[in-house]
Amino acid sequence: MKIQIDAELLVNFIAGVLGEDSEVVVHDLSNINASLAAISNGHLSGRQVGAPATDLALRMVQEYRQSDGVSYKLNYRSKTHRGVLLRSSTLIINGEDGEPAAMLCINTDDKRLLDLQESIRKLLPNEPEQTHQESLSMSVDDVGQDILQSVLEQYPIAPARMSAEEKSQVVKDLEQRGLFSIRGFVAKTAQILEISEPTLYRYLKNS
């Protein structure tokens, strides 16, 4: 589907949607020396109608002509002549002959948004570093199984192939996680590690 739309109407519409922190530009690529054909919120870059195409715009057109690449570039960084960093996106628009005829560019100053984000971050309490993710289990047996599985996953070998030292360390890790306060998991752990319950208690005593 091919459509025609007035460039000035297009930039004013998009800028109206995005707000005053977004500059919207249409370049006419038939005259790269004065390609800027329509602009809204030009205060962000200080440019006006008749400004030349940017170096990136020229490179994008050249790359597009030389390959079958995508006709747009999203969320790259650009800088105004005053040194203001912007988040930019550009779309190449082909003419009836299939050649690049225009470019639609959106340049956004995220400073106010980033300042707001930082203000919100300062209002939130610092979260303690978590070394273990809470498991919202349905039963105490599920809790025990989750603890057992998460500890065993830290070891690269199967319990049957573990040395006595490794099994002792597993028992120590499980004790630190509170597994043996759950009824029945001394026996279950001993069975999985292929040791006797007295051996498991000895590991606990020595830990």
Q: What is the mean pLDDT of each run of 10 residues along the chain (207 residues)?
A: 87 97 95 91 92 83 76 88 88 89 94 88 72 55 86 90 93 90 91 94 88
Q: What is the pLDDT of residue 6?
A: 94
Measured CA to CA, the distance from residue 59 to residue 72 in angstroms comes to 12
Could you give phi then psi for residue 67, rounded to 5 degrees? Answer: -145, 175
Quote the tokens at residue 7.
Answer: 């460039």
CA atoms within 13 A on the CB side of 180: 16
Q: What is the pLDDT of residue 127?
A: 62
Measured CA to CA, the distance from residue 168 to residue 202 in angstroms comes to 9
How far apart, in Å, do the first and last CA atoms of the chain sit? Answer: 73
Q: What is the pLDDT of residue 185?
A: 92
Which are the contacts of 92, defined by CB distance < 8 A and separation ≥ 6?
60, 61, 64, 71, 72, 100, 102, 103
Flag whether the pTM goes above 0.85: no
Please report which residue ranges of the chain form alpha helices under DSSP H: 7-18, 55-66, 111-123, 140-152, 164-176, 185-193, 197-206
Q: What is the pLDDT of residue 133?
A: 52
